[in-house]
Amino acid sequence: MRTSREVTVIGGGVVGYTCAHRLARAGHEVTVITADPPGRTTSAVAAAVWFPYEAGPADAVLRWGAESLRAFTALAADPRTGVSLRRGLVLHRTPEPDLWWTAAVPAAETVVDGLPAGVVSATRCTLPVIDMGRYLGWLVAEAGVRTVVGEVRDLAEVPGPVVVAAGLRSGGLVGDDGLVPVRGQVVRVANPGLTDWLIDDDNPAGLTYVVPRASDVVCGGTAERGERSVEPSPAVEGAILDRVRALVPALRGAPVLSRAVGLRPARPVVRLDRVVEGGRAVVSCYGHGGAGVTLSWGCAADVVALLEV
C-alpha cells in the first residue's frame, strides 16, 4: 500500500507546483516553499508554447515532453486552465533541420511554400499554448497544497523528504555549480487578430518567436547566456519588435502592453535524480533551460516515482 508522507517542494514556479500537484494526487501532504510568489517567477514570463528549447538529454526530454504534451492537450478542454491548442510554424533556415522533437508531436507536416525570405522550410503542427498568467493561478489552486513564501538557504532547514525545484536557486542548495542563467526578454503587444504561433530560433538576427494568446501576443526573444539583469532593455525590445514585424507584418502598429525578463535555469542536462542525505530523500528537478513548461508534467511524474522508491 502507498503510504502518505509529508513532502516539501522548494520552488514556486511551474516545475515546483506541477511536482506538488502530482505528489498531492499521489496521496502525500505537500508544502511548497517559494522565494517569490508564482506570478513573479521566471515561469510567469514564459511565452509557453510547448517546445523543447535549450534542454537535454534528448531521449529523456522527448519522453518528458511527450507526457507533458498529453497532459496539456487534455487541459485545453478546460477554459479555466488558460491552455489552448493552436496551429503554428517552426521555421528552418538550413536544408536538413534537426526534427528530433517531432517524434512526440502528432500530425507534424513539412511546409515549403509561402515562407519568409531566407527560410528553407517549416514544420507545421498544432501545439498547446499556455497563458501563464491564468495557468499558474489555476495550477496553484488545483494543487491544493500549503504554500510558504520564504527563501531556503540550507536543506537542513527543511524536514523530511524534499524536492529541489527552485530554478537557478537550486544549485546553491545541492552544491551544483553547473547552472547558468540564460536571460530571456519578451514584449507583449495587443493581438490584432493572430491565431497562429511562429518560432524562428535560427534567425540570423536573433531568437525570434510570436505567440498569440486571447488578447495579446508574446514576442521574443533573447537567449543571453550568463546575463543576470532582469531589467528590460529598450534597445533589445526594439530589436525584437523589428524581427517579429519583419516576419509578421500584421504586428506593425500593435501597441505594446507590457514587457518582462526571465532568467532560464540552464545546465548541460536536466538534473532529475534522488539521493539520500541524513537519512532522508532529496530529489532534484531543475536545469530545464527554456523548457520548464514543456517538460513539467513528465518530470513531475518521475519525481513522484523517485520519492516512492
Low-confidence ranges of the chain (pLDDT < 70): 1-4
Q: Is 290 annotated as a binding residue?
A: yes
Consult the annotation and say whether 184 binds a ligand.
Answer: no
Q: 294: annotated binding-site residue?
A: yes
Please indicate if the annotation marks 7 as binding a ligand: no
| Position 281, amino acid | A
Cross-strand pairs, 219: 187, 210
Q: According to the annotation, is 126 in a ligand binding site?
A: no
At 3 the pLDDT is 52
The residues facing 230 across adjacent strands are none
What domains lie within the chain, and their CATH numbers? Answer: 6-308 (3.50.50.60)
152 among annotated binding-site residues: yes
- What is the per-residue pLDDT for 2? 45
- Number of alpha carbons in the 13 Å side-chain half-sphere of residue 5: 18
pLDDT at site 147: 96
Grid coordinates representing 107? 500530425
Q: For residues 38 and 190, is the Cβ–Cβ distance under 8 A?
A: no
Q: Is 292 annotated as a binding residue?
A: yes
Cβ pair 225, 236 in contact under 8 A? no
Q: What is the DSSP letter of 193?
A: S
pLDDT for res 308 = 86
Q: Is 40 annotated as a binding residue?
A: no
Find where cell 514543456 sits.
Answer: 294
In this prediction, residue 159 carries a pLDDT of: 86
**How far out from the chain centre does Cα 272 lie?**
16
Q: What is the pLDDT of residue 4?
A: 60
Rg of the chain in Å (alpha carbons)? 19
- 42 labelled binding-site residue: yes
DSSP annotation of 141: H
pLDDT computed for residue 1 by the predictor: 32
